[in-house]
Amino acid sequence: MPVSGMPQQEATVNYNWRESLAEALRRNRRDADHRYFQLATLAEDGWPANRTVVFRGFSEDGQRLQVATDARSEKHTQLATNPQVEVCWYFVRSREQFRIRGRAALHDAGAVEAPARERLWNAMSDAARAQFFWRDPGAALGEGADIPVTQSPPASFLLLEVEPLQIDHLQLASQPQQRHRSWIERGAWQSFPMNP
Amino acid sequence: MPVSGMPQQEATVNYNWRESLAEALRRNRRDADHRYFQLATLAEDGWPANRTVVFRGFSEDGQRLQVATDARSEKHTQLATNPQVEVCWYFVRSREQFRIRGRAALHDAGAVEAPARERLWNAMSDAARAQFFWRDPGAALGEGADIPVTQSPPASFLLLEVEPLQIDHLQLASQPQQRHRSWIERGAWQSFPMNP
């Protein structure tokens, strides 16, 4: 991953973005919205698109961020065309931000990841599941048809996984503020501290 | 503004995004972070980029969103190349989201908007101003040089204005949930209700 302005210095080793993110999740767990982040994608006409999604957990290997999505959404169409994303995750209580550039993958019932998709469905609340049976999201009000409600996930229910490639972590509450950039290189994470 | 899936029906007239946003700002004013939103842009390598910024108010005509930015930031470089943005503004307390596709403009001391830039500087807190005198943001820690502190804004202080072109407003707290899309057409705002 090429990083503009990357210094010709040894990367620091005393920083781990994955641990920092887990710690942020712990420190902000009392906030109802601490699992919401903003997912930026590219629209088909080349504009950036941006919306709030709910973080549903990490993949089993702990490396990818999981989100539930609907195959009928614009987000799905965009990601099927272009998997490049940037997550912006701001934690209010601890005043820190993770910007995660990554690659998105979409998994349906036929995917190798189908068991993880099934687990995600089972872990979701009834209210969260109900939305997947509603009429086509984004169509004019009332257009389209509801999907018959079933116990198992409808075909349009997808597991979206974001594989991080570069992370920019800003900690506003530190004195002085701290900022770290991390990126993956030959399978290993590197990082260095930056000016905030 | 072409809207995919736009229905062949008359646009509803009983919805005004500008009033809805002002109402959201009122209803969420007790939350310290209610003025934070996420700004998605296009990076120079074609990836989407996404970060949290602070809403500083509306332009005098009430039509544009104002943000303070630093000419030394990546965001500035990206916007100077490509003004296409999407704002994602989620209000936690009232559980509603505004997605605002718009065009960004950057104003420095030589711009027609210089008085608005000056007003923004004067309205900012000392802590917010101080950051504009720090070393180059995003450079390796310690690289670059601090900017001599002055009363007037440094040259790198810019007023960023986003001119909305299309708005998608989702209200999760309504029963049932409500969603409206608005767009500007020959100088007038149109809108229609959508499935959430």
Cα-to-chain-centroid distance, residue A73: 16
Domain A17-194, CATH? 2.30.110.10
Inter-chain contact A50–B86, Cβ cutoff 8 Å?
yes
- Using a CB-CB distance cutoff of 8 angstroms, which residues of chain A are in contact with residue B88? 38, 40, 50-52
HEC readout, chain A = CCCCCCCCCCCECCCCHHHHHHHHHHHCCCCCCCCEEEEEEECCCCCEEEEEEECCEECCCCCCEEEEEECCCHHHHHHHHCCEEEEEEEECCCCEEEEEEEEEEEECCCCCCHHHHHHHHHHCCHHHHHHHHCCCCCCECCCCCCCCCCCCCCCCEEEEEEEEEEEEEEECCCCCCEEEEEEEECCEEEEEEECC
B80 vs A100: CA distance, rounded Å = 23
Inter-chain contact A42–B36, Cβ cutoff 8 Å?
no
How do residues A84-137 score in pLDDT, each as one tens digit? 999 999 999 999 999 999 999 999 999 999 999 999 999 999 999 999 999 999
**Longest pairwise C-alpha distance within chain A:** 58
Q: Report pTM.
A: 0.94
Cα-to-chain-centroid distance, residue A166: 13
Task: Suggest the residue from B30, B38, B54, B143 to mutate for an interface test with chain A (most A CBs closer than 10 A).
Answer: B38
Closest CA of chain B from A169, distance in Å: 11
Task: Report ipTM (2 d.p.).
Answer: 0.93
pLDDT tens series, chain B, 196 aa: 444 445 445 555 689 999 999 999 999 999 989 999 999 999 999 999 999 999 999 999 999 999 999 999 999 999 999 999 999 999 999 999 999 999 999 999 999 999 999 999 999 999 999 999 999 999 999 999 999 999 999 999 999 999 999 999 999 999 999 999 999 999 899 999 999 9
Closest CA of chain B from A131, distance in Å: 9
Q: Are B196 and B177 in contact (CB under 8 A)?
A: yes
Residue with tokens 């997912």: A39
DSSP character at residue B154: P
Residue B113's alpha-carbon distances to B71, B103, B108, B118, in angstroms, are: 16, 16, 8, 9
Domain map (residue ranges) of chain B: 17-116+159-194
Option in B7, B51, B137 nearest A196 (CB): B137
Structure tokens given for A45: 């006409």
Domain range B17-116+159-194, its CATH number among 2.70.98.30, 2.30.110.10, 3.40.50.12280, 1.10.540.10: 2.30.110.10
